[in-house]
Structures are given as structure tokens and as C-alpha cells.
């Protein structure tokens, strides 16, 4: 439906009036510029301010000082927009001209810790040739900011968004890295850890010292009344670390909301000053040259008594408000949502006006589920029902990241296939901790909660896929199967559409590293088992086809190269095909006039897909497997070796 112009302008009137009133003042406060930068900014304000205004009004309109807050937020936006370096303004223009740039088949992501991967930010810079060799166009670095010594939740307890952890380098190194990556065709992705700060952040220190304005930056309660009331409906996220969601801070004589660790204090977004302060941090990161911000722990940013305090409507308004101000001040920047929650909730964060990108935790969990069960029913169902998102957005598809695997499939979806969610999760946890008889996997439980029976899984891709057990048993046949599993699940994330993301180290089959148990800052967090330092002496074997590293690397490198050679891997439509087999996943992709059929056998038994299932999707045309060059023609059946997959295109 066409928007009714008179309606829109009526609705936007308060925003336009506010802007008219504020603009001259903002212009004076920012030096009275009237150059091209100011004009471009004025155009963007005209286009996006009404939306920002509307969102802020919904969030903070009841606040007695709403107009003052609005003015300071706008000042922040204008100031940082004008401070944006020329190269990034050029990037803004380029991205606005080609907003679908991230849908390209060229896109391939990698993720790592700067220190563990390369000893620091300069080390990462030196690895640019490695990234390019692998085919990466997107590099996510785990939070490199100042954080507490010892346990900092892997950097997710940020003590300053403006200072880099000195062990990794400096802010200048970070900006230089962003630029060098860009000049080499890679976008830098960093976290916006905005649900909480560390308890060593300046704001937390001031709160602890008794400054009431900063106490209001966090959610602090003088006694247990409110915390007890909230906890009735809260999920425990890190029960190993502390029960419930609050931590008593004696200096403040109060209970501080701490969803994750005791040293991670949740910010109080019901306070507009917090929104303003974090908007400033966000835009400063953008101006450093970050091209994608991973919005960390999005589900938790708004709290309301009597709810689970996850995925509340205001959480969406907040992100949309951050998005709107980004469109004004740093339009090249994209948001990626980290919502590791029920699939119904995951999709709600996805939208051009909210997060253009989102992790796909469901696909990830169901790939592992299919390896464990050798069945693809849940996976196929998820691709049918839950894969489609707006065409101007993209999934980030992955098999492992730095976090645990949570079995976040929907119980209702599972029930439709006769699977009981709770029992099945128990099975998966047993399987991936190697406790289930015959399991190939070597993983560890993460945050086992005896109260709920809940648990998640830690482990590297290779160890979970069976390589560790196979090496231990010196079984060449099992090693071969493990490598096939690794390549199989990567073949899906590389072909299904969206941005594939590789946890660096997985390309050479890095195994679990149990040495974290000797480090008191890490021993209580099993996720460290899958965050080992990069073994460069192993990576050096990657071109040796007789080495394990070489077999995995060559396989993966080839899949990436094929993806990047064929435009059919650009995001487009996806249709799941019946295969007549519970073990074989197949889908058909049509993109820009090209077609691709993927068929993948998730079992260690050979399978045959009847020709009647495949050929209609290719209109009966003969097809070639991009991987082997082998020709297939209608009405032939398609045989698949153990864990084999094919990428068929019309010959």
C-alpha cells in the first residue's frame, strides 16, 4: 500500500518541528559548517530523523526531560557524523549505491581472537595474506577492548569502548587494521557489547563511588524485594557462575543486575542518558572503520517485571533507534544480531530497519543434530519454514563460533515430527559429550543446570565431528569419516545463501585444547576448550595433501573457491526438495537466472536419491557436479557415498 502522504507528514510534524528548532543550534555547536558534509548530513536527517524521533518518543517520551535528552542525542549524532573520516564517507556513498553488497557470493567470513590467532592486532594485520588465500571478505575479531585482568568473559566485559586492551595493541592499530583490511577487500566486524559494561568501566566506578547519575546507568536495587520478584520469571544464563541474575555490591549497598557474570553489569536503557552514551560509543566504533557491528546479547537489553526479560518489544525499539541514528551518521555500517533464542524470536531482530544480518543459530544447531541422528528431517523442516527472511537482509550461517552450542530449535516444530524437545536435547547433550554409546564426538558440557536439566555443548568443529576420537583410536577409516563430516556441514553453510562464517582454526581441523583447565581465569568456562591459540606450525602443512590439515584445508578452500566463482551462490530463493530419504538433504536455489541443486548425505551409509526427486527442479536438463565435474542426466538416480554432497548446475 502507498503511504498516505498527508498522514505521514501529519505524523512526522512533531519530529520536523523539533528538527527545525534544533538544527541551527546544532550547526552553531558544531562550528557552523555549511560544506558538503553538512549538506549530506542535513539530507540524511531529513530522511531518517522522523523515524528516530518516533522511536525515542516511544521509549523515552514519558521522561520529564525528554526534549533535553532528544537534543543531546541529536547533538551526539551530528557531532559524530561530521567527524566521520573521508574514506568512510566514500564508503557510505558506495554502500548506499549498492545496498545489497553483502548478498554477494564473494562474501565469506572468518572469526578469531586477535591474541590467540596472531598475538595481537598487528599480528592480525600480518595475516591478511592468509585471509585472502582462504577467500575471506569479512573478519570478526572478538572484543579487543580494555577489559578486566583475569576473567573478562573473553573480552565481553568491556571497561572502555575507546581503549584497546594493551596486550593487543592500541586504538591506532585497530583503525589501521580496519583500513588495511578494507584495502584488501575485507570488512572489519567488531562487537557492540551493549547489554553490559565491565564493573571496571568508568561509569561503573563512578556508580560505585556514589555518583547518583551513574548509579542510574545500571539497574541497582537496595534490597532483595525487586530482584526476587524479577527472578520468578528469569532464565539463568550462567548458572555455574552465580545463581539468579543479581550481584550484591557492598559499596553501593545494592543488588546490581548481572545477567552474565558478576563483573558484567547490565546497562539501564530505561535511562535515556544511557542510550545517548552508548550511541556515542557506537558511532565512534563506526568512525574507526568498523563495517559491521555484532550486537551482542540483544535479547537481554530491556527488562520488565513479570516477564523473562528477553526479547521484549522495547529491545526491538532500542535497536531500531540505534539503526536509525546509524543511517544518519554512518550509513555504511550494518548490524548483526546475536540472538541465540527461540527461532520465533530470532527472526524478529532481522530487518533493514533493525539488524540487516543475523546469526543463524537454528541452522547451526540442526546441522549438528543431523550429524548425530543421521537424519535431516528437522533440518529440512527448518529450511522450509524458518529460513526465509526479508530480501534485503542475510543470515550469517556458521557451524561453530567462540560460544557453546545451544539446542535452540522449536519444541513445536520438533513435536510435529514426533520428536520430544526436552528428551531430544538430553540425547544431543549425551551424544556431543561422548557419553552416548557409539558417539564419535568429543565435547564438553557447558552450564549444566541441575535445576532444569539444561545444558549446552563446547568443543571445536573437528572434535565434535569425530576427528579427535578417530585420531585417539588411530582409525584411518574414522578419520576419513570425520573429515567428510567437517566438509559436509561447511558445504551447507557455503551453499545455502547468506554469509558463511568460519571459526578460524576450523579450516585446519583444530582439535579441543584442554589446557584451559590449568588457567584459573578460564577453568570454569568450558568454552575455552574450543578457543585454542592458532597452531601456525600446523597451518604450515595446509598445502600438504597427505596431512590432516591439508585434507581439510584443501577441501574447504575448494568449496569457497567454487562459491566465489559461480554467481548462483549469491543470495536468492531456496526450495527444499523431497529426497525420499531421511538421510539426504536437498535444496534447489535459483539466483539471477542460474540454478543449483545441493544434495547432501548425512549418514555414513551410501544413499541413492531417486531421479524423480531431482530432475524436475532442473527441468530435466543434464547437470554437472561442480565438485567432481561428473555429468548426471535425467532420469538417472543419484548415488551418494557416505557423507557425500553434490553441487549440481545445468551442464
Q: Where in the sequence numbering do the catalytic residues fall?
A: 296, 338
In which element (H, E) is residue 37 found?
Answer: helix 36-60
Q: How many residues bind ligand GLC (CB under 6 A)?
A: 16
Task: Give the C-alpha separation, 479 to 509, whole Å.
Answer: 11
DSSP secondary structure code for residue 199 in this structure? T
Span of 296-304, 325-333, 529-537, 605-613 interacting with ligand GLC by CB under 6 A: 296-304
Q: Decide if 598 contacts 586 (C-beta within 8 A).
A: yes
- The overall longest dimension of the chain from CA atoms, in Å, is 77
Short-list 371, 289, 363, 394, CA closest to 583: 371
The residue from 406, 466, 500, 555 that contacts ligand GLC (CB under 6 A) is 406
Residue nearest to ligand GLC (CB): 156
The residue from 199, 403, 513, 549 that contacts ligand GLC (CB under 6 A) is 403
Cβ proximity to ligand GLC, 338 vs 513, nearer residue: 338
Strand partners, 188: 139
Cβ proximity to ligand GLC, 468 vs 525, nearer residue: 525
The residue from 22, 249, 340, 496 that contacts ligand GLC (CB under 6 A) is 340
Q: Minimum distance between the CB of residue 528 and ligand GLC, rounded to whole angstroms?
A: 11
**String marking each residue 601-630 x if it binds ligand GLC according to CB under 6 A:** ------------------------------
Q: Decide if 347 contacts 99 (C-beta within 8 A).
A: no
Q: Strand pairing of 499-503 and 394-398?
A: parallel
Main-chain phi, psi angles of 415, to 5 degrees: -60, -35
Span of 74-82, 87-95, 334-342, 387-395 interacting with ligand GLC by CB under 6 A: 334-342
Main-chain phi, psi angles of 95, to 5 degrees: -70, -35
The yes or no reply on residue 176 touching ligand GLC (CB under 6 A) is no
Cβ proximity to ligand GLC, 404 vs 507, nearer residue: 404
Locate the DSSP E strands across 259-306.
264-266, 292-295
Q: Minimum distance between the CB of residue 341 and ligand GLC, rounded to whole angstroms?
A: 6
Q: Decide if 203 contacts 213 (C-beta within 8 A).
A: no
Short-list 490, 502, 465, CA closest to 117: 502
Q: Minimum distance between the CB of residue 55 and ligand GLC, rounded to whole angstroms?
A: 23
Cβ proximity to ligand GLC, 260 vs 602, nearer residue: 260
Q: Minimum distance between the CB of residue 296 and ligand GLC, rounded to whole angstroms?
A: 5
Q: Return the axis-axis angle of helices 272-288 and 36-60, rounded to nearest 10°.
A: 150
Span of 333-341, 609-617, 625-633, 638-646 interacting with ligand GLC by CB under 6 A: 333-341
Span of 320-328, 381-389, 397-405, 600-608 interacting with ligand GLC by CB under 6 A: 397-405
**String marking each residue 253-292 x if it binds ligand GLC according to CB under 6 A:** -------x--------------------------------
Strand partners, 350: 355
Task: Please list every residue from 114 through 153 that binds ligand GLC, using CB under 6 A.
Answer: 153
Q: Minimum distance between the CB of residue 380 and ligand GLC, rounded to whole angstroms?
A: 25
Question: Residue 196's Cα: distance from chain center in Å?
Answer: 17
The yes or no reply on residue 237 touching ligand GLC (CB under 6 A) is yes
DSSP secondary structure code for residue 236 in this structure? P
In which element (H, E) is residue 492 found?
Answer: helix 476-495
Cell of 21: 528548532
Question: Residue 581's Cα: distance from chain center in Å?
Answer: 32
Cβ proximity to ligand GLC, 298 vs 481, nearer residue: 298
Q: Decide if 396 contacts 498 (C-beta within 8 A).
A: yes
Cα dist from 425 to 308, 432, 458, whole Å: 21, 10, 14
Q: Minimum distance between the CB of residue 150 and ligand GLC, rounded to whole angstroms?
A: 15
The yes or no reply on residue 297 touching ligand GLC (CB under 6 A) is yes
Cα dist from 106 to 114, 132, 215, 560, 566, whole Å: 24, 12, 47, 9, 9
Q: Minimum distance between the CB of residue 272 and ligand GLC, rounded to whole angstroms?
A: 23
Cβ proximity to ligand GLC, 195 vs 370, nearer residue: 195
Task: Please list every residue from 146 through 175 that binds ligand GLC, using CB under 6 A.
Answer: 153-154, 156
CB neighbours of 176 closer than 8 A, spacing ≥ 6?
Answer: 125
Cβ proximity to ligand GLC, 130 vs 349, nearer residue: 349
Span of 22-30, 81-89, 224-232, 338-346 interacting with ligand GLC by CB under 6 A: 338-346
The residue from 92, 404, 454, 604 that contacts ligand GLC (CB under 6 A) is 404
Applying CB under 6 A, the residues found at the interface with ligand GLC are: 153-154, 156, 193, 237, 260, 296-297, 299, 338, 340-341, 402-404, 406
Amino acid at each position: 500500500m502507498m503511504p498516505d502522504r498527508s498522514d505521514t507528514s501529519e505524523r512526522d510534524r512533531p519530529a520536523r518541528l523539533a528538527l527545525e528548532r534544533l538544527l541551527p543550534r546544532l550547526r552553531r555547536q558544531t562550528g557552523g559548517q555549511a560544506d558538503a558534509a553538512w549538506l549530506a548530513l542535513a539530507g540524511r536527517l531529513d530522511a531518517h530523523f522522523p523515524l528516530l524521533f518516533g522511536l525515542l518518543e516511544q521509549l523515552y517520551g514519558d521522561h520529564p526531560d525528554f526534549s533535553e535528552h532528544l537534543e543531546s542525542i541529536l547533538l551526539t549524532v551530528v557531532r559524530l557524523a561530521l567527524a566521520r573520516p573521508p574514506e568512510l564517507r566514500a564508503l557510505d556513498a558506495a554502500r548506499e549505491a549498492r545496498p545489497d553488497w553483502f548478498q554477494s557470493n564473494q562474501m565469506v567470513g572468518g572469526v578469531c581472537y586477535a591474541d590467540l590467532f596472531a598475538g595481537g592486532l598487528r599480528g592480525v594485520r600480518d595475516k591478511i595474506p592468509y585471509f585472502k588465500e582462504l577467500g575471506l571478505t569479512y573478519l570478526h575479531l572478538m572484543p579487543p577492548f580494555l577489559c578486566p585482568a583475569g576473567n573478562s568473559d573473553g573480552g565481553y566485559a568491556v571497561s572502555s569502548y575507546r581503549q584497546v586492551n594493551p596486550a593487543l595493541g592500541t586504538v591506532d592499530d585497530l583503525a589501521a587494521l580496519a583500513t588495511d583490511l578494507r584495502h584488501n577487500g575485507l570488512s572489519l566486524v567488531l562487537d557492540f557489547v551493549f547489554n553490559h559494561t565491565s564493573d571496571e568501566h568508568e561509569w561503573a566506578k563512578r556508580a560505585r563511588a556514589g555518583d547518583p547519575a551513574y548509579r542510574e546507568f545500571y539497574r541497582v536495587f537496595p534490597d532483595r524485594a525487586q530482584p526476587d520478584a524479577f527472578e520468578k520469571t528469569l532464565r539463568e544464563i550462567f548458572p555455574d557462575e552465580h545463581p539468579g541474575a543479581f550481584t550484591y555490591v557492598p559499596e553501593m549497598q545494592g543488588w546490581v543486575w548481572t545477567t552474565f557474570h558478576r563483573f558484567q553489569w547490565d546497562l539501564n536503557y530505561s535511562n535515556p542518558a544511557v542510550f545517548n552514551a552508548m550511541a556515542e560509543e557506537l558511532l565512534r566504533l563506526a568512525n574507526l572503520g568498523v563495517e559491521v557491528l555484532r550486537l551482542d546479547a540483544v535479547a537481554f537489553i530491556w527488562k520488565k517485571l513479570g516477564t523473562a526479560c528477553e526479547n521484549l518489544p522495547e529491545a526491538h525499539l532500542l535497536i531500531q533507534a540505534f539503526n536509525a541514528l546509524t543511517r544518519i551518521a554512518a550509513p555504511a555500517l550494518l548490524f548483526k544480531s546475536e540472538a541465540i533464542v527461540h527461532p520465533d524470536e530470532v527472526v524478529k531482530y532481522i530487518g533493514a530497519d533493525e539488524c540487516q544480518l543475523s546469526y543463524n543459530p537454528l541452522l547451526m544447531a540442526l546441522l549438528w543434530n543431523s550429524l548425530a541422528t543421521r537424519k535431516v528431517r528437522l533440518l529440512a523442516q527448518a529450511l522450509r519454514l524458518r529460513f526465509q527472511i526479508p530480501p534485503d537482509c542475510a543470515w550469517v550461517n556458521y557451524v561453530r563460533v567462540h560460544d557453546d552450542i545451544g539446542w535452540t530449535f522449536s519444541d513445536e516444530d520438533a513435536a510435529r515430527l514426533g520428536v520430544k524437545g526436552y528428551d531430544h536435547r538430553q540425547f544431543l547433550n549425551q551424544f556431543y559429550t561422548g557419553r552416548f554409546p557409539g558417539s564419535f564426538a568429543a565435547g564438553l558440557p557447558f552450564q549444566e543446570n541441575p535445576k532444569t536439566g539444561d545444558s549446552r555443548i563446547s568443543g571445536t568443529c573437528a572434535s565434535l565431528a569425530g576427528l579427535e576420537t578417530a585420531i585417539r583410536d588411530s582409525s584411518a577409516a574414522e578419520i576419513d569419516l570425520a573429515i567428510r563430516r567437517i566438509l559436509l556441514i561447511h558445504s551447507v553453510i557455503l551453499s545455502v545463501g547468506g554469509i558463511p562464517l568460519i571459526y578460524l582454526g576450523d579450516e585446519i581441523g583444530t582439535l579441543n585444547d584442554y589446557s584451559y583447565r590449568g588457567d584459573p581465569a578460564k577453568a570454569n568456562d568450558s568454552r575455552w576448550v574450543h578457543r585454542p591459540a592458532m597452531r601456525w606450525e600446523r597451518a604450515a602443512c595446509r598445502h600438504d595433501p597427505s596431512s590432516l590439515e591439508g585434507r581439510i584445508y584443501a577441501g574447504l578452500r575448494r568449496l569457497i573457491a567454487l562459491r566465489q566463482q559461480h554467481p548462483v551462490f549469491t543470495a536468492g530463493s531456496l526450495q527444499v526438495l523431497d529426497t525420499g530419504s531421511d538421510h539426504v538433504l536437498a535444496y534447489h536455489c535459483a539466483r539471477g537466472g542460474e540454478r543449483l541443486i545441493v544434495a547432501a548425505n548425512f549418514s555414513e551409509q551410501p544413499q541413492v536419491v531417486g531421479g524423480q526427486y531431482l530432475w524436475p527442479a532442473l527441468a530435466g536438463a543434464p547437470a554437472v557436479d561442480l565438485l567432481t565435474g561428473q555429468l548426471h542426466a535425467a532420469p538417472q538416480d543419484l548415488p551418494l557415498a557416505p557423507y557425500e554432497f553434490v553441487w549440481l548446475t545445468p551442464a
